[in-house]
């Protein structure tokens, strides 16, 4: 078993549940949303938690707001720590609405991004155009993630449409399909105005797709993370995690926190 700290803890102390996967991994993915961290804070985050982060998303359309050197340094640091770093899906939606898709791809490639997110949370995107964007991203050597769901407050999931989208996106080559939860986790997608969801809805989705391990759930709230891990296990993929919550989430995944302590004894 790979040792990921300098202290040689007994394995049962590091991972009481005993189901944590290690990088590079295909399940148990953690995606962190960066809403504008400074470079020093970003470097400190990766120096302490990089083994627990698989994807970093520069949220929304923040990518063009950075000084070029800062942005390139962030991208370089992420890749040095074997993390996929992507511009936010909303930024690609901006490129689509402004008819700048070719310029968008040219710039993110030149800057060194190694992933993209294809979404239509704010715009309408035809199935054909979605397929074309996935294909183009893959041809450019990028790791392609997609997202289903609208960002409008109160927007709900259409289960039939969701299942169809998941199947189609995976067939076209998407690594993961994210279910919208925004950075708030409240009153969008499967979450109600209190940030809660019916676990029957989760299982309805999981049981309806052929590769449930390729679904990522945006779950920024602790209560949501606990719900998913208690019901789907430590290998569930979770996104929109705050940088300051990476250790907390990792503790939940391993049974190092009271909320999932019981899973170590199953």
Write the DSSP string, 194-244.
TS---HHHHHHHHTTSS-GGGEEEE--SHHHHHHHHHHH-TT-EEEEE-GG
Cα separation, 151 vs 158, whole angstroms: 14
What lies within 8 Å, CB to CB, of 132 at 6+ separation is none
Cα separation, 241 vs 224, whole angstroms: 11
pLDDT on residue 194: 66
pLDDT band with cut points at 50, 70 and 90 for residue 155: low
pLDDT on residue 2: 45
- Reported pTM: 0.92
Write the DSSP string, 115-175.
EEEE--SSS---HHHHHHHHHHHHHTTPEEEEEES--STT-B--HHHHHHHHHHHHHHT-S
pLDDT in tens, 14-25: 999 999 999 999
pLDDT band with cut points at 50, 70 and 90 for residue 189: low
Neighbours of 98 (CB within 10 A): 10
Residue 80 in this model has a pLDDT that exceeds 50: yes
CA-nearest of 242, 234, 241, 222 to 263 is 234
Residue 144 in this model has a pLDDT that exceeds 50: yes
Q: What is the DSSP letter of 10?
A: -
CA-nearest of 107, 109, 106, 34 to 74 is 34
CA distances from 239 to 105, 127, 200 (A): 23, 24, 20
Q: What are the structural domains, with CATH classification, of the chain?
A: 11-265 (3.20.20.70)
Residue 44 in this model has a pLDDT that exceeds 90: yes
pLDDT band with cut points at 50, 70 and 90 for residue 3: very low
């Amino acid at each position: 078993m790979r040792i990921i700290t300098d202290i040689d803890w007994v394995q049962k102390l590091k991972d009481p549940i005993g189901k944590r996967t290690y990088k590079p991994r295909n399940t148990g993915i953690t995606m962190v949303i960066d809403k504008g961290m400074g470079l020093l804070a970003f470097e400190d985050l990766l120096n302490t938690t990089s083994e627990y982060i698989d994807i970093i998303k520069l949220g929304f359309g923040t990518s063009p707001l950075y000084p070029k050197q800062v942005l390139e340094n962030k991208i370089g640091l992420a890749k040095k720590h074997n993390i996929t770093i992507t511009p936010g899906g909303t930024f690609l939606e901006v490129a689509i609405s402004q008819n700048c898709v070719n310029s968008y791809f040219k710039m993110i490639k030149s800057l060194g991004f190694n992933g993209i997110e294809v979404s239509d949370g704010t715009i309408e995107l035809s199935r054909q155009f979605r397929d074309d964007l996935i294909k183009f991203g893959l041809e450019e050597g990028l790791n392609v993630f997609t997202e289903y769901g609208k960002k409008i407050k109160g927007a709900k999931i259409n289960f039939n449409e969701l299942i169809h989208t998941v199947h189609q996106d995976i067939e076209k080559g998407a690594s993961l399909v994210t279910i919208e939860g925004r950075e708030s986790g409240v009153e969008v997608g499967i979450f109600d105005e209190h940030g809660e969801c019916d676990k029957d809805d989760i299982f309805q989705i999981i049981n309806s797709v052929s590769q449930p391990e390729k679904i990522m759930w945006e779950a920024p709230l602790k209560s949501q993370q606990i719900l998913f891990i208690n019901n789907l296990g430590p290998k569930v993929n979770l996104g929109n995690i705050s940088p300051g919550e990476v250790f907390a989430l990792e503790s939940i995944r391993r049974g190092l926190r009271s909320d999932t302590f019981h899973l170590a004894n199953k």
